[in-house]
């Protein structure tokens, strides 16, 4: 596929940003238990289009579980979750479609090990979005170029560094043209010298208007990119504030204690 090596105009990472401000993700009175463990306690959270939220809090506070409920990787006991106004369907094609609107990047690089980088990015658009193969490859190469790994398109995941793999994971999620991107500690498994190459892509996405929920301990990123910091502890959202307010004037003892340990 030499044709794919041609230089082509650079497409925006986030198409269709004409409207901002309306609620894209809404969690209302969400409750979740794992057996006796009450992991999400009356979670109420609204993320507006174009907003970047950084979710912080001690380990075990329910950050990952909350993210996973948003695209139904976890069920909830009660409450309501809406994506762009629509309740999450229970199962089937409708669930697959709604799930496709929520891109997710995890801590561990979960690329398909037996597929090339290009195939990793084109698979879901072809299967779920029924995109023509050529068109999917064009889109994939655009996105891989945007995250700086287009020269690796024909390699296997194991041939790439962790930072490169995580940038491919971001491109793969973006190829579904999601309305929202969830990042759950996307840099915490990376060697330190690779953290910034991933955070830079996330900052760029944020600047292009992507709606994002990011669980991260990277406070530099939080200050640079977040519109709002959400502080969780013991399954509850204890504080939501601008980065300046949260870092300079945390209100709860839990947040003060948390910040004293990480800053």
Shortest Cβ distance from residue 13 to ligand ADP (Å)?
A: 26
Ramachandran class of 29: left when φ > 0, alpha when ψ lies in -120 to 50, beta otherwise: left
**6: its two tokens:** 């041609």
Shortest Cβ distance from residue 170 to ligand ADP (Å)?
A: 20
Q: Which residues pair with 183 in a beta bridge?
A: 105, 214
Number of residues that bind ligand ADP (CB under 6 A): 11
**Member of 47, 61, 62, 64 binding Mg ion (CB under 5 A):** 64
Distance in angstroms between the alpha carbons of the first and the last residue of the chain: 49
Strand segments (E) across 99-196: 102-105, 180-184
Shortest Cβ distance from residue 67 to Mg ion (Å)?
A: 8
**Member of 12, 15, 20, 37 binding ligand ADP (CB under 6 A):** 37
Nearer of residues 13 and 215 to ligand ADP, judged by Cβ? 215
Q: Which residues pair with 31 in a beta bridge?
A: 78
Q: Alpha carbon 247 to chain centroid distance?
A: 23
Nearer of residues 64 and 120 to Mg ion, judged by Cβ? 64
Shortest Cβ distance from residue 107 to ligand ADP (Å)?
A: 10
Nearer of residues 140 and 255 to Mg ion, judged by Cβ? 255
b/e per residue, 132-165, with b = 16+ CB within 10 A? eeeebbbbbbbbbbbbebbebbeebbeebbbbbb
3-state secondary structure of 255: helix
Check: CB of residue 167 under 8 Å from CB of residue 13. Answer: no
Binding mask 85-114 for ligand ADP (x = CB under 6 A): ------------------------------
Residue 220's binding partner out of ligand ADP, Mg ion, none, with CB under 5 to 8 Å set by partner kind: none
The closest alpha carbon to 177, from 108, 129, 107, belongs to: 129
Using CB under 6 A, which residues numbered 139 to 198 contact ligand ADP?
none
Per CB under 5 A, 216 contacts Mg ion: no
Using CB under 6 A, which residues numbered 46 to 75 contact ligand ADP?
57, 59-65
Shortest Cβ distance from residue 108 to ligand ADP (Å)?
A: 13
Residue 120's binding partner out of ligand ADP, Mg ion, none, with CB under 5 to 8 Å set by partner kind: none
- How far apart are alpha carbons 198 and 190 in whole angstroms? 9
Shortest Cβ distance from residue 121 to Mg ion (Å)?
A: 25
Instruction: Using CB under 6 A, list all residues that contact ligand ADP.
Output: 34, 37, 39, 57, 59-65
- Judged by the rule CB under 5 A, the positions of this chain that interact with Mg ion are 63-64
């Amino acid at each position: 596929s030499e044709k794919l090596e041609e230089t082509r105009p650079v497409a925006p990472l986030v198409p269709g940003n004409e409207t901002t401000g309306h609620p894209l993700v809404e969690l209302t009175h969400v409750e979740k238990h794992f057996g006796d463990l009450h992991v999400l306690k009356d979670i109420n959270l609204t993320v507006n289009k174009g907003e970047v939220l950084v979710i912080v809090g001690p380990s075990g506070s329910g950050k990952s579980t909350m993210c996973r409920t948003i695209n139904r990787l976890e069920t909830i006991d009660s409450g309501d979750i809406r994506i762009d106004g629509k309740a999450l369907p229970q199962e089937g094609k409708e669930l697959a479609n709604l799930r496709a609107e929520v891109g997710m990047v995890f801590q561990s690089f979960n690329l398909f090990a037996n597929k090339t980088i290009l195939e990793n990015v084109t698979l879901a658009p072809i299967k779920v979005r029924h995109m023509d193969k050529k068109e999917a490859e064009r889109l994939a190469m655009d996105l891989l170029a945007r995250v700086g790994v287009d020269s690796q398109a024909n390699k296997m995941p194991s041939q790439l560094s962790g930072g490169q793999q995580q940038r491919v994971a971001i491109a793969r999620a973006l190829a579904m043209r999601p309305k929202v991107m969830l990042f759950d500690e996307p840099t915490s498994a990376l060697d330190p010298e690779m953290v910034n190459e991933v955070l830079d892509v996330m900052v760029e996405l944020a600047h292009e208007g992507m709606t994002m929920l990011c669980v991260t301990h990277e406070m530099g990123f939080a200050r640079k990119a977040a519109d709002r910091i959400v502080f969780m502890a013991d399954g509850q959202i204890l504080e939501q504030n601008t980065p300046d307010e949260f870092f300079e004037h945390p209100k709860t003892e839990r947040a003060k204690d948390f910040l004293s340990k990480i800053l």
